[in-house]
Amino acid sequence: MTQDCRVKPKKQLEGRLKRIPVASSGSISITADHSGSDVRVHLNGRIDVDSSPDLRDYLLAILSEKPSPRAITVDLAGVPYIETSGIATLVEALRIARHHRATFCVQGLSGPVLRLFEVTGVLALFEASDCGQKAS
């Protein structure tokens, strides 16, 4: 089922895995797997000033679901490039998740994406978010 990023994702049945592809700007695709109260968001493509608003809208929709997800994991393995606007989007989502007492993790960091997380100093924020594993 394809959705516009500005539309709240459909509520998923407890304990069932459902994959939701999301229409987005041409530079990134977003797919979310819901399993019970956990959500895994898979990103593919470049996260830049044009695609960051789509990512932000989708993450905020996930974080505003009732009941709130217990854990959100963002998989960046398919992201070869990220700008600081994308980092800001992920930090904002982390802050909101903490407010809701949810775990927010990033994984799959490598190459230039990992380097930007290190240079900006935000890697430590995500490593400290109790993900059970390192962000990279």
pLDDT at 5: 39
What pLDDT is stored for residue 26 in this prediction? 64
Whether 19 contacts 53, CB under 8 Å: no
Its pTM stands at 0.79
Domains of the chain in start order, with CATH, are 3-8+15-127 (3.30.750.24)
How far is it, in rounded angstroms, from Cα 109 to Cα 72? Answer: 16
Is the separation of the CB atoms in 30 and 60 below 8 Å? no
pLDDT of residue 15: 41
Which of the residues in the chain have pLDDT under 70? Answer: 1-26, 128-136
